[in-house]
Chains A and B, each alone.
Chain A
Amino acid sequence: MKTMTLYREKDSPIHRIDPLTKLLFAIVAVSTSYIVSNHVFVLCVLTVTFLILIAGKVIKYILPVIALSFLLIASIIIVQGFFHPDRATVLFEIGSIPIYKEGFSIALLVTLRVVTMISAFGVLILTTKPDDLVETLVEKGLSPRFAYVLLSVLQIIPQMVALTGKITDAQRARGLETEGGLFVRFKSFIPLLGPVVLNSLNETRERSIALEIRGFNSKSRRTYLHEREPYKFGLPLKIILVLFLVTVIVWRVVS
């Protein structure tokens, strides 16, 4: 069974940290790397993030994502390096395209920030059970309906993909050509789309009946099956993270 969850079950100190602290970490890491426009500083944040990923035994799962984002990064380097208005010093040339130092420097900073963002949220997503995260947020006041949407999407989208496969087969059985060039594929789109949408709507209606039956709209106070053990370093960690963020903001404003 495929789900879209990226969570990796591992035994590590990072996995034991409570979801809110990890969420706060991701927010602090990303925002500070944007507040401070200093390569060394952003590199430090990134290094810390990487160390956390290593401690969480999930570093190998983040690398493909970063690799994927290099397409975006490469285009940033070329565009910034070539077009930056302050271009003066040629750093190197890609083919006949000169890359200027000023633009390259900015491109490098943007790259570091993007990688930091991916990795910081990687810490949250790879080491936190999605239902743990969402339920913690519900306890903090997130609407249960919104939480339900967040969670169910992870399982229901793969279900829809499987359904689309079945529908494609049913239409191919009626002579619909789905193999071939772009035009052929485009033409086959409508006969596939109709059943996919209608089936999904139908299933959604049935599922909302099932939710009603299970008291989803009950007015009484909800309880939670899983007790979240209070993480003993949660509070100090949160204080450190907030202090760090405040310091960075103050530093940025004063300097």
Chain B
Amino acid sequence: MSIIRVNQLKYKYPDSDALAIDDLSFTVEKGEFIGITGMNTAGKSTLCYALCGLVPHFFKGGYGGTVTIDGMDVLTHELSEITSKVGLVFENPFSQMTGAKFTVYDEIAFGLENMGLPREEIHKRISDTMKMLGIEKLKDENPFSLSGGQMQRVAIASVIAMKPAILILDEPTSQLDPEGTEEVFRIVDMLSKRGMTVIMIEQKLERLAEYANRIILMHEGKIIHDGLPAEVFSRENLFEYGIQPPLYVKIAKALNIQDAQTGLYPVKLQDMHVDRKLSFSIQAARSINYKTVKIDVHNLHFSYNEGIDIIKGMNVTLEGEPIAIIGQNGAGKSTFVKLLKKLLNPNAGEILLDGHTISKRTAAKLAGRIGLVSQNPNDQIFKNNVLDEVLFGPLTIGQSKEVATTNALAMLELVGLSEKTDENPYDLSLAERKMVAIASILAMDTDVVIFDEPTMGQDYLGKLKVKEIIHSLYEQGKLVICILHDMDFVAEVFDRTIIFSNGNILFDGPTRVAFSNKAILHQARVEQPHLTKFVGKLGYEEIILDVNELK
């Protein structure tokens, strides 16, 4: 018998008129790995809530149809009975820590104590789970002192220890760096191989395609396609649903690799059988050069605590084409841009903006010259409507009301939100709020624009938009600097890349050269883009950054 049966499920949130889930029916067998994909707002998270009983027990609202978990009707059972069968892990690792436990060991115990398990059983389950997930070393750490990836593994451990039959993961890696992402995927893959039923929402489709037995493509609360990864990702109209196929499908299309019988494209690396010789047309760097302001950094040093330098004597000149800064967490990337923005003061060294030192100005005074889009839009949004939010920065730095409004409307147009100027930012999706945050910095019309992780949590359309914005800013003669973890995006968009490692600049130069230097990438613990890696594995020397370069 199927472990999950969903029959004509409909649901709408209490404060909304639209159905978040619109007539879904499907079944899941024990041990399956189901990937769910679709753009933001497709109803994926809501479906997860419905599968673990939070809908309708925690989120009220209009509910119709049935969800049966392991023979248990979700509607008529207590939430605690359902959650003993279904574990949920979601995006934000911080808010999944209870806050009431002071060590990782005790944190994992929390759910087991609530279940009322005997003490010996609790100890046994904690040590088994920690061993299985490889987190024994974290046993005595305070949960809040961990890195995002470690915290997310503890969150998974806490849920797994309760021995649910089904594990649901709602974009568990969207807030993690590549290393943390890797840690989480490794665990999920292992759990699935051990026979656990896994349902995973994920934007990283290469991974989903590799692990999942089945993909459910959702759009506006409905299931568009429920089938094998190769079937779903070979659809020609994926773009209409706001997703792009995994990279291997794109490569296969460029190289015409298709299954002879089914006409489907391969979705994972091991299915890519390239039986002919490839040739390449390497694209030259963009020839048009726009003039921008120039930032000179001389011998920059910074430390939060004496003796532990975060930035160890950096020298770099930033001007011209958009620049990507890459490197592991803790390499000093965010600290570096905060120094540029004067949110922090250097211990030694100097930063010159067009030849003038910035050390005499406050962050607020510098705001008219250098804009910084922070990672989390929720850190800045406080107005009741989108237009006012975007107007705040321009007005604060002294633009007149007319100029500010013109700028704000132009930028909302650029980020694709001109229809939503009167809405409350908090009624928008997270991806849209990110766009509001971007618009609110761009409207200040600064000479320099710095983005901290603009692609994080964005779906395909969002990334496309960010790419457009970066190009358009450069065309307006603005200096764009981007901190990024998404190497595919770096390869696609930037010609100049700076690699940070441990407070130093390891490399500064053309992106293609950056991704060719294995020693430096290894030292900075940065991966090559998927495409580059793939071509390398086929035995070619060339460093390929774009699918269009394949012949």
Contact = CB atoms under 8 A, between A and B. Distances in A.
Interface of A: 1, 3, 5, 129-131, 147-148, 151-152, 155-156, 159, 166-167, 169-179, 190-191, 193-195, 198-199, 202-203, 206-227
B79 interface: yes
19 contacts: A5-B102, A155-B100, A167-B379, A173-B363, A178-B364, A194-B383, A199-B379, A209-B54, A212-B83, A218-B114, A220-B80, A222-B113, A222-B114, A222-B116, A223-B118, A225-B109, A225-B112, A225-B126, A226-B106
Given A155-B99, A206-B95, A174 B380 contact: yes
Interface in B112-144: 112-119, 122-123, 126, 142, 144
Contact of B343 (A151, A173, A191, A219): A173
A134 B378 CA distance: 34
Interface of B: 52, 54, 58, 78-80, 83-84, 87-88, 90, 92, 94-102, 106, 109-119, 122-123, 126, 142, 144-145, 155, 158-159, 162, 338, 341, 343, 362-364, 367-368, 371-372, 374, 376, 378-383, 392-393, 396-397, 426, 440-441, 444
Contacts of B113: 222-225
A9 to B, nearest CB: 11
B374 A215 contact: no
A215 B380 contact: no
A137 B107 CA distance: 19
B393 A175 contact: yes
Contacts of B368: 175
A207 B155 CA distance: 12
A152 B381 CA distance: 26
Contacts of B97: 210
Helix, strand, loop or mixed for chain A's interface? Answer: helix
A171 B118 CA distance: 50
Contacts of A223: 112-113, 116-119, 122
Contacts of B78: 219
Given A131-B102, A152-B100, A177-B364, A195 B114 contact: no
A210 B98 contact: yes
Contacts of B123: 225
B426 A218 contact: no
Given A174-B393, A213-B83, A194 B118 contact: no
Contact of B99 (A147, A156, A219): A156
A221 B90 contact: no
Contacts of A212: 54, 58, 79, 83
Contacts of B371: 173
B393 A203 contact: no
Contacts of A151: 99-101
B367 A170 contact: no
A173 B367 contact: yes
B234 to A, nearest CB: 35
A83 B341 CA distance: 56
Nearest to B99: A152
A203 B79 contact: no
A148 B100 contact: yes
Contacts of A213: 52, 54, 83, 87-88, 111, 159
Contact of B122 (A1, A176, A225): A225
A131 B111 contact: no
B145 A195 contact: no
A27 B186 CA distance: 53
Contact of B116 (A198, A203, A218): A218
Contacts of B80: 215, 217-220
Contacts of A190: 382
A178 B58 CA distance: 40
B436 to A, nearest CB: 12
Nearest to A129: B102
